[in-house]
Amino acid sequence: MMAASYRREFFVVRKIMMAMIAFVLIAAINIAPQEVNAAAAWLNTDKLNNGVVTVNYDVKANVKTKVMITKGQEKYTYNLTAGKKGETFPLQLGNGEYTITVLENTTDTKYKMVGKETVTLNLKDQKVVFLNAVQNVAWTDKNAAIIKANELIKGKKTDAEKVKAIYDFVVSNIAYDNELAKNVTTDYIPNIDNTLKNKKDICYGYATLFAAMLRNADIPTKLVMGKTTYVTEYHAWNEVYLDGKWVVIDTTVDAAYKKANKAVNFIKDAGKYTAEKVY
């Protein structure tokens, strides 16, 4: 049974994870018919062979703008960031045809379509999708967190050794940020250097930091959102490709367990996790 102190630490997670749901889902958005851009100058497919696309759309001041990526009946929706020259998004739903749509808010929940294109993904190895820097797992080799990751894995010969070194660092040095959970906005996206500097974040931040550090080490890593029996509310964790299979690792839960001097299972029971969104 989870200790009372551990329950208190995660009590505030509901607000942030509900905000994350608003961020990743396109609920109650009405899309008005609109003539779309023919030239698709806003869509860069240079890295399609890596399983990602980049949207270069000039977001208008004070206009909520989204990109929606769909394949069949599944869809992912993201907020575009004003001032960004380009933002990269994964095509994580397997091979096939994807539709990428740019939407601008008009009034309330109504949006107009300002760009729409289709691309076809045909990867031999779909794990490559989870090696990229994308909007919510953003990193470059200049990030302090990535420099730290390189220090941690120096001299490590196997992926298992690299994963364990980075895992040990994260669960030992990052604390759960209750104050952020209370005040976080719906458009919150973790910044790995802020997480490293402040030594605290919510579960979203834990999972983003861990994913970025491992992807930098060429270890396919998913950022996953959904539910688990370890936490009563919506949650974020990672799946890591290790020794030929995907395994569940939850640095948020393990950091809390470590803090409480409780036994920790490095690899979690996948049956206790239900994924709803994967990045």
Encode pLDDT of 240-262 as tens digits. Answer: 999 999 999 999 999 999 999 99
Q: Are both 120 and 187 inside the same structural domain?
A: no
Q: What is the pLDDT of residue 21?
A: 42
Q: Are both 17 and 144 inside the same structural domain?
A: yes
Tokens of residue 215, six digits: 């992807």
CATH number at residue 65: 2.60.40.10
What is the mean predicted confidence (pLDDT) over 207-231? 98
In a domain, 130, yes or no: no
Q: What is the pLDDT of residue 32?
A: 56
Q: What is the pLDDT of residue 192?
A: 98
pLDDT of 185 strictly over 90: no
pLDDT of 136 strictly over 90: yes
What is the mean predicted confidence (pLDDT) over 44-71? 96
Q: Are both 107 and 228 inside the same structural domain?
A: no
Mean pLDDT of all residues in the chain?
A: 89
Between the alpha carbon of residue 221 and those of residues 8, 101, 132, 155, 248, the distances in Å are 29, 26, 9, 21, 10
- The length of the chain is 279
In a domain, 166, yes or no: yes
Q: Are both 169 and 38 inside the same structural domain?
A: no
Q: Are both 265 and 242 inside the same structural domain?
A: yes
What is the mean predicted confidence (pLDDT) over 145-161? 98
Which residues, 6 or more positions from 156, have their beta carbon under 8 angstroms from its beta carbon?
162, 165
Report residue 75's pLDDT band, with 50, 70 and 90 as the boundaries. Answer: very high
CATH number at residue 164: 3.10.620.30
> What distance in Å separates the CA atoms of residue 171 and residue 81, rounded to the nearest whole number?
30
In a domain, 119, yes or no: yes
What is the mean predicted confidence (pLDDT) over 113-129? 98
Q: Are both 140 and 244 inside the same structural domain?
A: yes
Q: Are both 116 and 237 inside the same structural domain?
A: no
Q: Which domain holds residue 83?
A: 33-124
In a domain, 70, yes or no: yes
Say which residue, 38 or 134, is predicted with more confidence.
Answer: 134
pLDDT of 12 strictly over 70: no
What is the mean predicted confidence (pLDDT) over 213-222? 98
Q: Are both 11 and 56 inside the same structural domain?
A: no
What does the pLDDT look like over 30-53, one tens digit per residue? 665 454 444 469 999 999 999 999
Asked whether the CA dihedral 125, 129, 132, 137 is positive or negative, the reply is: negative
**Number of domains present in the structure of the chain:** 2
Percent of the chain with pLDDT over 70: 86
What is the mean predicted confidence (pLDDT) over 7-33? 47
Give backbone dihedrals phi and psi of 16, rounded to 5 degrees, phi first.
Answer: -65, -40
In a domain, 206, yes or no: yes
Amino acid letter, 112: K
> What distance in Å separates the CA atoms of residue 175 and residue 273, rounded to the nearest whole number?
22
Q: What is the pLDDT of residue 184?
A: 84
Are 69 and 57 in contact by the 8 Å Cβ rule? The answer is no
Q: Are both 154 and 260 inside the same structural domain?
A: yes
Neighbouring-strand partners of residue 99: 70, 118
Q: 3-state SS of the chain?
A: CCCHHHHHHHHCHHHHHHHHHHHHCCCCCEEECCCCCCCCCCEECCCHHHCEEEECCCCCCCCCEEEEEEECCEEEEEECCCCCCCEEEECCCCCEEEEEEEEEEEECCEEEEEEEEEEEECCCCHHHHHHCCECCECCCCCCHHHHHHHHHHCCCCCHHHHHHHHHHHHHHHCEECHHHHHHCCCCCCCCHHHHHHHCEECHHHHHHHHHHHHHHCCCCEEEEEEEECCEEEEEEEEEEEECCEEEEECHHHHHHHHHCCCCCCCCECHHHEEEEEEC
Q: What is the pLDDT of residue 31?
A: 65
